Amino acid sequence: MATVRSGGPTGATAAPEIDGVALLARVAEARCRLSFADLFGHFGPRIKGFMMRSGASEDLAEEVVQETMVTVWTKAHLFDPAKAGASTWIFTIARNKRIDLIRRRNRPEPDPNDPMFVPDPPESGIETVTRKQDERRIRQAISELPPEQAQIVMLSFFEELPHSAIAERLDLPLGTVKSRLRLAFRKVRDSVGEDS
């Protein structure tokens, strides 16, 4: 799309007024490029002028115009003249585009070296063997727990239920669930050791 020349205040240019509703209808129904060109020629300078009077730089104002008019072209079928006039609808899109562009510009670029973006190094063979041995010892220790403690451990760690949901499911007081879980932890830790 062409660069938009800055227009004066709405209504201050010599350009004749247009029937925005009819033009939007033709764009929506027939993808009429001439109607879209008329909309662009009328609203482009007005949007740019409005954005610049609102404190936007010329570059930002032109980018808002471009994004607004692309949206008008692709979403003209969503325009409902019963809800708003053409000018109101288009300027609402422009306002939202300006907000989006400012947010996008103010968002820092992601740092590829940020630890959140760096995958964990692959597990070494020794680490894999150690982890599997630990898992086996923990499963063995859980299997040796009294059934009422083992059940709570399974619900808490394998089904990932919160303590209150476990209490409700087993029809137990919350304090009983917590105390059985503490006892189970102690027995498992004594059985497998602190390091596992």
> Rounded to 10 degrees, what is the CA torsion of 6, 10, 14, 16?
120
Domains of the chain (ranges; CATH) run 20-106 (1.10.1740.10), 125-192 (1.10.10.10)
| Tens-binned pLDDT, residue by residue, of the chain (196 aa) | 444 444 444 444 444 578 989 999 999 999 999 999 999 999 999 999 999 998 889 999 999 999 999 999 999 999 999 999 999 999 999 999 999 988 888 777 777 777 777 777 888 889 889 889 988 988 888 889 999 998 998 898 888 889 999 999 999 999 999 999 999 989 888 887 766 5
* pTM of the full structure: 0.49
H helices of 55-124, in order, are 58-75, 86-106
